[in-house]
Structure 1
Amino acid sequence: MALPLITALELKPGMRVLEIGAGTGQVAATLAKNWGVTVITLELWENLNVIQEYASEQGADNDVLALKANAELMPFPDEAFDAVFSIGSFFMIEDREQALKEITRVTRTNGFFGIAEPMCTFNPVPPGLENFDIFHSYNKWLRTLDWNRNLIQGQGFLITDSYYFSEGYQWMLDNFRYYDGEKDFILHDEGRWLGLGLAVGKKMYR
């Protein structure tokens, strides 16, 4: 999901970028190395030293800074970033509306915010899917593409790109770091209810 999202953000060398949810830091280091941008990446759960060590291995240690910070209350001044993005993390934020208010605050006017992550489709839940323990977690956190679009638009962003990935089902099978029972859940669903989506908006006003 990373490349289509990054492309939609229209990054240029010298930009300052904020990533919400660093994971192991691969995206941040890749952006710094190949796009020529500076990346501050927020991560609450992973080891920040691992993120910085990977950036150093890629020759990008001076352009990547990993911080343990909450997206719902960020320690940055207004309009500090040219672009903000999240890959597979935004949907797990407890208060996404508050987080988006903060994202709006720290994004410069005409800058982009984008997400690429699991989203539910408009299809009904397939029979038997609710019997998987992990379904209850997904059902709590996942929203449709339209829900995400409306949330982003509501904070003054003009939607510039949004869609479900047609390859989403196969990508989940090939690339997810699975929790117990998650792969069986995905196989049972067959891409009917669980999908991967992208939504990008351009900040139109402060």
Structure 2
Amino acid sequence: MARPVYAHVSLVGVVVMLVLAGLGTLTYFPRLPSFMGLTWQGKLRCGGVGRPAIFWEMPVTPEQDPENAFPRERDLEIAVSRESDLRKALTREHYPRSSGYDPAWIVDVPMGPHPLWCVESLMEVMTLEPGMRILDLGCGAAVSSIFLAREYGVEVWAADLWTDPTDNWERIRTWDVADRVHAIRAEARELPFARGFFDAVVSIGAYHYFGTEARYLAYLLEFLKPHGSVGFVTTGLDHDPGPTLPPYLAERWTPDFFTWQSPDWWRNHWQRTGLVDIDRADMVPGGWDDWLQWLRACDLVDRGYAPDANMLEADQGELLGLVRMLAHRR
């Protein structure tokens, strides 16, 4: 808010202002030189065609408009409060490594449940050694790839089809892991790697998009060393609900949900290939609540998704959650 104060200017100044006013409806000058010992603060405005008035906008004082007198200070207070709320929402004792990362960075490009929590839950049952070559399949914004490199000392190939690798490369450089994380664009069914190249394959929130195909595991294992591990955490179901779905799920049941499977389904799907030994097939403990808490946190910065949050609220972990799978190549 500002109040107009008409100012005396020279004849030349008037002519210049009128010419500029004819070229546009509004011309701003951030500061005028000192005049009669006063330094003018504000904006000089001049109307457009048909509005030749010239006047000076003076900023309001706190006494004139106490609610809007300090917008920057108020915005800063809001930002600090929001950051504090976000950090609280994304801090969980059973995910200590994740808590050390900037929550604003984590929610910047939300793609599925909390990627770092998912990695930590997978690492509870999966062992990675420093220096290993890891394929992060369907890495999204490479948040999980950066985390793997920094926290576990591995070298990661961050492969995703939909995210621009240049954007991922910028994030990788920001975290100073450019020598250990390699961003590439790759289709999961057309991987550009040498056979037997990786020590392990990790997939966070993505494997169900391509891994339900009966022949996919056999294809993926071509790029894994003998006895190498493959593990994933992704959205899924605790058990097969049968032909009748609960109402909160039935109303949203579209082809995107058809690949949400249970741990038992994934175990059978992998075992029948005869190519791997299953090390773990279960639901992440409290995974449904992790997922819901993540959505609530994203909502603090207007990046939540109410339909998923409402679905999880209604389910309360009865059916929905995060499936965790781990196996090693024979």
Which residue number corresponds to residue 118 of structure 1?
235
Which residue number corresponds to residue 146 of structure 1?
264
> Using a 3 Å threshold, how does the CA distance of structure 1 residues 162 and 94 change in structure 2: closer, same or farther?
closer
Which residue number corresponds to residue 190 of structure 2?
73
Q: Partners in 2 of 1:175 and 1:75 — Cα distance?
A: 33
Q: SS at 1:162's partner residue?
A: strand
Which residue number corresponds to residue 22 of structure 1?
139
Q: Percent of pairs identical after alignment?
A: 24
Task: Find the structure with the greater CA-based Rg.
Answer: 2
Which residue number corresponds to residue 169 of structure 1?
288
> Using a 3 Å threshold, how does the CA distance of structure 1 residues 104 and 123 change in structure 2: closer, same or farther?
closer
Q: Partners in 2 of 1:202 and 1:162 — Cα distance?
A: 12
Residues 1-42 of structure 1 show CA distances to partners (whole Å, capped at 9, x for unaligned) of: 211313433211111000111122111112212322110021
1:84 matches 2:210: no
> Using a 3 Å threshold, how does the CA distance of structure 1 residues 189 and 123 change in structure 2: closer, same or farther?
farther
Which residue number corresponds to residue 26 of structure 2?
none
> Using a 3 Å threshold, how does the CA distance of structure 1 residues 113 and 131 change in structure 2: closer, same or farther?
closer
Q: Partners in 2 of 1:122 and 1:197 — Cα distance?
A: 10
Q: Which stretch shifts more, 19-28 or 3-12?
A: 3-12
- Residue 161 of structure 1 deviates from its aligned partner by 1.8
1:183 matches 2:300: no
- Residue 179 of structure 1 deviates from its aligned partner by 4.2
Q: Partners in 2 of 1:7 and 1:103 — Cα distance?
A: 23
Equivalent residues in 2 for 1:31-110, closer than 5 Å = 31-93=148-210, 96-110=213-227
Q: Partners in 2 of 1:14 and 1:57 — Cα distance?
A: 21
AA aligned opposite 1:128: P
Extract unaligned runs of 5+ from structure 2. 1-117, 299-303
Q: Partners in 2 of 1:136 and 1:4 — Cα distance?
A: 28
Residues 65-88 of structure 1 show CA distances to partners (whole Å, capped at 9, x for unaligned) of: 121111112111211100001111
Q: Partners in 2 of 1:35 and 1:57 — Cα distance?
A: 18
- Residue 172 of structure 1 deviates from its aligned partner by 1.3
CA contact (8 A) 1:24 1:51 kept: yes
Q: Partners in 2 of 1:100 and 1:94 — Cα distance?
A: 7
CA contact (8 A) 2:197 2:225 kept: yes
CA contact (8 A) 1:9 1:83 kept: no
AA aligned opposite 1:116: V
Q: SS at 1:185's partner residue?
A: helix
Q: CA RMSD in A?
A: 2.1
Q: Partners in 2 of 1:16 and 1:29 — Cα distance?
A: 14
AA aligned opposite 1:182: D
Q: Partners in 2 of 1:101 and 1:36 — Cα distance?
A: 28
Q: Partners in 1 of 2:155 and 2:178 — Cα distance?
A: 10
Q: Partners in 2 of 1:41 and 1:88 — Cα distance?
A: 14
1:201 matches 2:320: no
Q: Partners in 2 of 1:106 and 1:168 — Cα distance?
A: 30
Residues 118-143 of structure 1 show CA distances to partners (whole Å, capped at 9, x for unaligned) of: 1112263653124433x224541211
AA aligned opposite 1:88: G
CA contact (8 A) 1:169 1:191 kept: yes
> Using a 3 Å threshold, how does the CA distance of structure 1 residues 83 and 94 change in structure 2: closer, same or farther?
closer
- Residue 190 of structure 1 deviates from its aligned partner by 2.0
Q: SS at 1:8's partner residue?
A: coil
The one of 117, 128, 135 aligned to 1:11: 128
